[in-house]
Amino acid sequence: MELGFLGLGQMGSAIAERLEQAGATLHVFDPNARAAEPFVTRGAVVHGSARAVADAAEIVFACLPESAVSEAVAREVAAGGTVRTYVEMSTIGSPSMARIAATVGARGIALVDCPVSGGPKGARAGTLSVMAAGAPDALATVRPWLARIGRTVFEVGERPGQAQLMKLVNNLINAANLATAFEALVLGAKGGLDAAQMVEVINASTGRNSATTDKIPKAVLTGSFDYGARLATMYKDVALGLAEAEALGVPMWVMQQVGSLWRFGMSEGRADEDFTALIRVVEGWAGVKVRGAGAE
């Protein structure tokens, strides 16, 4: 099977590798030519545009950084002569996904709204959580490929945009867990508690969540700050989630405050740092660090 893949950044390249390992011949495009080089050595076909990929493959996947890019790429894909199913894996919000659906649908191309959760490491391991929405026939077409990408595939509806909302619900909780865990751990450190032991106690108690069981032990206690996603990406998702809430008339008292902390991290010039680096903002205010033994 020949598949198209657009966007070979941290997430996109990891997902594309899984499709490649499943036996697909990939037709790829990324504006950064170097991102495609590892795929070329393994037999992928590199193209000079998204339109060229859509001329070569019936199923085209995309994993892109923001809504404006996704919508521009969708217009190119819609002009392709071979593509019949377009799988948009970016997190861009339901209004943007609706515009993409109209763009490709006008050319008879089926759209699957398909964001994922789990980061690049999860993508390479095939353990992502995949959220998909689209027409039944379109979902049936891509279901075998989604099973290669994720450990769990949730089909959440027939209307593109529904999977976007599901992803944003998840990421709002993720962002809140991180923000509150960072503040609480800094409080404990300021009061003289050992950072590693605090995390151990929390994970044996009712405060545990994915921030304390996974992200903080791997990227904060170690001082590596390399979990695998940019702070700007998390802030984008929080902003998208708050916009969805505004459109649906749902008050978000807690998340507004969480969003303010992530926005402050952006204003401090940390947009391109790992999202776990947000704790450094709180540490700076308190004058302490939350690190394990031997970490800086």
Q: Which residues belong to the active site?
A: 167
Angle between the 10-21 and 136-149 helix axes, to the nearest 10 degrees? 90
Contact of 156 with 120, CB cutoff 8 Å: no
- The span from the CA of 89 to the CA of 48, in Å, is 21
Q: Report angle CA 175, 176, 177 to the nearest 5 degrees.
A: 90
Q: How does DSSP classify residue 291? A: -
Residue 76, C-beta contacts closer than 8 angstroms, at least 6 positions apart? 49, 50, 51, 54
Of 295, 296, 289, residue with least CA distance to 186: 289
